[in-house]
Amino acid sequence: MNKVTEASFYRTYFAFGGLFLSITLAVAAFILFNSDIQREQLILAIFIYVFFILSLTISFILLLKKKITSVIKAIDGIIDNAINRENSKCISYEETSLSALENKMYRFVSMSKATTAAIDEERNKIKSLISDISHQTKTPIANILLYSELLLDRSTINQEERELAEGIRVQSEKFKWLIESLVKMSRLEVGIISANKALLPVFQTISRSIGAVFSEAEKKNIQIHVSCREDIKACHDSKWSSEAITNILENGIKYTAAAGRIDVTVKQYEIFTEIAISDTGIGIREDEITSIFKRFYRSKDVSQYEGVGIGLYLSREIIASQGGYIKVKSQISKGSVFSVFLPNT
């Protein structure tokens, strides 16, 4: 970039300015010092003047454009190096504005690379920590569940002991779910998990989600109705999208009274496919709709229900990682509608 220096711009300005001034003075002198100039000669002089001025202007614009293009290409090259994480070395240290800009760009690249390296190192540490937590807690939780099942299978156990063993089993299941959810959340945040998107039928993904919550819905006699053509496809990861939809369905079942209803309706638009999940539950306050997707957020209206406020956060992160989004509409005591939008391409 230093080949086009600040001084070269000044030289261009002075050169063209001098030519313009010289031509103008020459034409003015010709007219002033020729008192008997004829009309035809005057018109010719003006025509020649206009011709030279236009030529000069066009030449100035073309040369200036060439110099500016050269500068832009040089800056573009530096930015490309930054994007591609290539090594960048400063060419020179000339005391010009352009050179100063170049040096600042290189310093910025170096600082960005150092910051990126630190972030990558921190991410690797978090990945290792998450893997350790997942591995170290899996066996103890599995053993607790196994021991509680063995206690419940004993014929000599009395009623009080059976209730205690059942309590251990239930709480262990909750603890297992909590650990798994925290691990998934952490993996999503640090980028360990990536969605493998493909153009897949939406109906199959919804069916998998309903299968995961069917027993809970049956216990409360909640009917789940699906309206979806089998030929509708969207670009998504079926496994992770299914988990996101499952979390929304679980919330719908949890906050809907017995003998309620959940409707899953699918509509395909030009860019997105909408999966609308509506329930007849308790609803969400309007001022809380923007907060329900936050980590560990729990409304004061649902304090009597079990939960830690992770499910909807995970759903939003999973769908967002696939280029989609979630919208919510709700009315207190009438129910909620969670609309999941998945991209078509």
- Domain limit, last residue, from 140, 166, 190: 190
- Domain limit, last residue, from 158, 173, 190: 190
Q: How confident is the model over 272-329, as pLDDT tens digits? A: 999 999 999 999 999 999 899 998 898 888 878 887 888 899 899 899 999 999 999 9
User: Are residues 166 and 302 both part of a single domain?
Assistant: no
What CA–CA distance (Å, rounded) separates 165 from 216? 22
Supply the Cα-derived Rg of the chain in whole angstroms.
Answer: 36
Strands 272-279 and 233-236: unpaired
What CA–CA distance (Å, rounded) separates 189 from 314? 10
- Considering the chain, what percentage of its residues have pLDDT values greater than 70? 88
Structure confidence at residue 78 (pLDDT): 65
User: Are residues 161 and 206 both part of a single domain?
Assistant: no
Residue 92 lies in a domain: no
Which distant-in-sequence residues (6+ apart) come within 8 Å of 161 by Cβ?
151
Residue 117 lies in a domain: no
User: Are residues 79 and 63 both part of a single domain?
Assistant: yes
- Considering the chain, what percentage of its residues have pLDDT values greater than 90? 36
What CA–CA distance (Å, rounded) separates 42 from 193? 81
User: Are residues 335 and 221 both part of a single domain?
Assistant: yes
User: Are residues 156 and 179 both part of a single domain?
Assistant: yes
Which distant-in-sequence residues (6+ apart) come within 8 Å of 238 by Cβ?
198, 200, 204, 205, 208
Amino acid in the structure at residue 284:
I
Q: What's 271's DSSP letter?
A: S
End-to-end CA distance of the chain: 41
Q: Is 205 exposed, middle or buried (0-12, 13-18, 19+ CB in 10 A)?
A: buried
Residue 142 lies in a domain: yes
Residue 109 lies in a domain: no
Q: What's 35's DSSP letter?
A: T
Strand partners, 113: none
What is the block-wise mean pLDDT of the chain (345 residues), using blocks of 10 residues?
61 82 81 73 79 85 82 73 56 55 72 80 74 77 86 84 87 82 74 80 96 93 95 95 94 94 96 96 92 88 82 91 94 95 95
Residue 98 lies in a domain: no
Segments forming the whole domain that contains residue 174: 132-190
The whole-model pTM stands at 0.60
What CA–CA distance (Å, rounded) separates 77 from 70? 11
User: Are residues 150 and 238 both part of a single domain?
Assistant: no
Number of domains into which the chain is organized: 3
User: Are residues 178 and 204 both part of a single domain?
Assistant: no
Residue 236 belongs to domain with CATH number: 3.30.565.10
User: Are residues 226 and 313 both part of a single domain?
Assistant: yes
Structure confidence at residue 191 (pLDDT): 66
Question: CA dist 71 to 10, 76, 81, 129, Å?
Answer: 15, 9, 16, 47
Residue 251 lies in a domain: yes
